[in-house]
Amino acid sequence: MSSQAHLAELLKRHNISFVAHSHPQTTDLKHWVQTLKDNHPAEVSNFAPAKSLVLKPKGGAVTNPILVVALESSPIPINPLVKSLGNKEARTAADDVTKSTLGVDKIDVTPFAIANVQDKSTVTVVVDSDALTSGDTYLAFRNFSSESTIFVKAAQMKAFLSGSAVSFTEVKLAGLAAAAPIGKADASKGPKAAQTPKAKAEVAKADAADDKKLIGITVKKDDDFSTWYQQVLTRAEMLDYYDISGCYILRPWAFNIWKVIQKFFGGEIEKLGVEDCYFPMFVSSRALNREKDHIEGFSPEVAWVTKAGQSDLAEPIAVRPTSETVMYPYYASWIRSHRDLPLRLNQWCNVVRWEFKHPQPFIRTREFLWQEGHTAFATRQEADTEVRQILDLYRRVYEEYLAVPVVPGKKSEKEKFAGGEYTTTVEGFIPTTGRAIQGATSHCLGTNFSKMFNIMIENEAKERIHVWQNSWGLSTRTLGVVVMVHGDDQGLVLPPRVASVQVIVIPTGITAKTSDDERANLFKKSEELVETLQAAGIRAKADLRDNYTPPFKYNHWELRGVPVRLEVGPKDLAKSEACSFRRDTRAKQQLPLASIVPSVQSLLEQIQSDMFAKAKKERDERLIRLETWDGFVDALNKKCIVLAPWCEREQCEEDVKDNSARSSAGDEPQDEKAPSMGAKTLCIPFDQPKDGVIEGKTKCFACDHKAKSYTLWGRSY
Ligand code: 86X
């Protein structure tokens, strides 16, 4: 079997999807790269050529190879790299070593060769973090001994490596190379060999810079927002990529925020009389299709289960994209009289919508978590009241917990949920991209669904009437919004109310002269401080790891967005103080330990309200009020949203969208790099300007009709 066929077989066996591409034999890496540039399959337009190299640590066992996978364009600084892994030196492995350990010839090495290794714990795999910045990018792997290339998505390769038992690390190779001393063939004799105190200090500084490169955020939020967002999410350990496009792993650091939202919102709806429940995730096609009319537009997104093992199911079963069709047949059977009302149920669950637009973690994913509330009332008025109560709770989730300002309002006819009577929404804003984002929705379904599902009661006047229904949902999109709004070039910035660690205590000021007793005392005092804070209900934690320096720990917790750091050093203790650092402004302040609890409490509250005020100021500065079309497209291009008087006609809304699209071709943008999309209405804010529309007088900003309301417009997610 040719090596290429072998690789294809191997990938199939591991369920890794790939694209195989034949081309003329290539002579060397450069030639190969050029060949791919000139001629590659259309579906992999977004790809990066990769190279693989096998190293054998010097003095290490022949059977403990290091497999390095890098972008073709990245340098592989061998010695700095192996040193960062804790080895002394290494050299490229000889042909026979490669063959005996990875089961392939040196020229055929790819990361997938580890499938051939019996004891995977013997192999270390290092992947160039630049190769992983976008999980959706295809990596091209060349099989030198054949005439073809295999393309695999970076996320798939990563998932394959993470799922195997090899020790797998990501390293920023370009950063390592930059930090390596120039002109030294042997880097091991470089920095660490420094002898004078000054040279040692320089080395320490360079090492710290190195550490930061490897683990920190390497791009600026304003320069490359999408890479920044991916790096923040993965390096702050909120999320990991998965080997199915559009699906992501929510790690505890993210899930803890979700739990805070669940606790607040769950508690509030309980007070309103809503009860939690759980319905199955599967829907029969018969049930799903009862809602045909408005399902129609959504049907390409429905995921179906068609098989159990190898045998086809008698009937395919859908995975819920939302639960109206799952729940309402049972509402029909449970609701008989007005005494059965109101029926108010909520469930926290996952839903699946197989979208084909560009996925983005938390913001647009194929599976997501949400709560969906489904309620039924005897009267329109009760339903109306609830719609607004729930919407106000959504506003509070964003404003009081996530410190993100939102605009509550009503959706236009074009943007509302087609199955309902009207839709209300809270609209957020991402300043960096200038795009608005729907935060949550609360719908009045009217009697549309009760008519479809025969949900009827006999009212007090003994008339058979259809019940009034609402549905409302808030999803894990919230987590994406909080990251996008507050994060900075150092990483995540968490609002205190949702941070699972609000205060990180770090002992510092330990030098060679510090005695063991002094050091022990510092650690003890740090622990006591944490206990004091915890007793007052503050989510505090001490970082007492002894294998990391204080600056390393500072970076570690800053990247993860912890709102407050307390540094405790011998000098602070001598004065009975701690030094506080706030993540949002980076301001430092000495705090007396005697009053540490109230000081930290008020600091956390201050941070929470300052973060909201800052986000609101930024949003308000980009919310432009216009009376006419003049300046509309210009405002959008300057990353603003616009409040303008509008006639509320659907045709007008479509015209605005067309006339504000930068290019008429391709309406949906791939991501924020393509801000050419047209503007949509975001909502008709409930809070209308004081000097608002004068009925019959004020003109629509976009056409010759009379305006009905001030409406918020913008490019949106
Ligand atoms: C609309 C409406 C509503 C309960 C909410 O917005 C909040 C919580 N549901 C959801 N919607 C669909 O009905 C829908 C249906 C199918 Cl089949 C689909 F594939 C996607 C959908 N997306 C949204």
Domain CATH number, residue 647: 3.30.110.30
Is 168 found in the same domain as 148?
A: yes
Is 439 a pocket residue for ligand 1 (Cβ < 6 Å)? no
Beta bridge partners of 623: 641
Distance in angstroms (rounded) separating the CA atoms of residues 469 and 448: 8
Q: Per-residue pLDDT for 62 more than 90?
A: no
- What is the average pLDDT across 173-188? 57
Span 177-192, average pLDDT: 44
205 domain-assigned: no
pLDDT in tens, 364-386: 999 999 999 999 999 999 999 99
According to the model, what pLDDT value does residue 417 have? 95
Q: What is the pTM of this model?
A: 0.74
CA of 315 to the centre of ligand 1 (A): 23
251 contact partners, CB below 8 Å, separation of at least 6: 237, 238, 239, 240
Q: At 98, which CATH number?
A: 3.90.960.10
Which pLDDT value is given to residue 90? 87
Cβ neighbours of residue 614 under 8 Å, at least 6 residues apart? Answer: 584
Q: What is the pLDDT of residue 452?
A: 95
* Residue 691 is assigned to a structural domain of this protein: yes
**Tens-place pLDDT, residues 249-274:** 999 999 999 999 999 999 999 999 99
- If asked whether residues 352 and 254 sit together in one domain, one would say yes
Task: Identify the pLDDT of residue 671.
Answer: 47
Q: Are 445 and 420 in contact (CB under 8 A)?
A: yes
Q: Which domain holds residue 656?
A: 623-714
- DSSP per residue over 102-157, as a string? HSS-GGG--GGGGGG-SSGGG-EEEEEGGGSS-TTSEEEEEETTTTEEEEEEHHHH
* pLDDT tens profile 653-685: 999 999 999 653 444 444 444 557 899 999 999
Q: Check pLDDT > 70 for residue 203.
A: no
| Res 580 pLDDT > 80 | yes
Please give the number of the atom of ligand 1 that sits closest to the Cα of 419: 13
- Let me know whether 470 and 517 are in one domain: no
- Centre of ligand 1 to C-alpha 413, Å, is 16
The verdict on the CB of residue 57 being under 6 Å from ligand 1 is no
Number of structural domains (the chain) is 4
Cis omega (within 30 of 0) on the bond before 495? no
Which residue's alpha carbon is at the smallest distance from atom 16 of ligand 1?
298
Q: What's the pLDDT score for residue 134?
A: 82
Same domain, 347 and 367: yes
* Average pLDDT in the chain: 91
> Is 203 inside a domain boundary?
no
Probe target for ligand 1 pocket from 265, 298, 357, 422, with the most ligand atoms within 8 Å of CB: 298
List pLDDT tens digits, range 538-568: 999 999 999 999 999 999 999 999 999 999 9
Share in percent of the chain as helix, strand, coil (round to 5): 40, 25, 35
Whether residue 425 is predicted with pLDDT greater than 50 in this model: the reply is: yes
Q: Give the residue from 618, 645, 662 where a domain finishes.
A: 618
Residue 182 is predicted with a pLDDT of: 43
Mean pLDDT computed over 14-39: 87
Nearest to 132 by CA among 235, 8, 252, 7: 235
Q: Point out which residues pair with 66 in neighbouring strands.
A: 55, 124
What pLDDT band is residue 135 in, cutting at 50, 70 and 90? Answer: confident
Do 108 and 43 share a structural domain?
yes
Cβ–Cβ contacts within 10 Å for residue 165, how many? 12
Q: Ligand 1, from 291, 296, 322: best to mutate by most atoms within 8 Å of Cβ?
A: 322
* pLDDT surpassing 90 at residue 521: yes
Q: Does the CB atom of residue 301 touch ligand 1 within 6 A?
A: yes
Whether residues 380 and 480 fall in one domain: yes
Query: Are 629 and 613 found together in one domain?
Result: no
In a domain, 79, yes or no: yes
Residue type present at position 17: S
270 and 330 inside one domain: yes
In this structure, are 400 and 260 located in the same domain? yes
User: What pLDDT is attached to residue 562?
Assistant: 98
Q: Which of 21-30, 432-441, 601-610 has the lowest mean pLDDT?
A: 21-30
468 falls within a domain: yes
- pLDDT category at 183 given cuts 50, 70, 90 is very low
171 and 252 inside one domain: no
- Same domain for 368 and 466, yes or no, is yes
Q: Say whether both 661 and 684 belong to one domain.
A: yes
Is the distance from the beta carbon of residue 295 to the nearest atom of ligand 1 less than 6 Å? yes
Final residue belonging to a domain, choices 144, 163, 188? 188
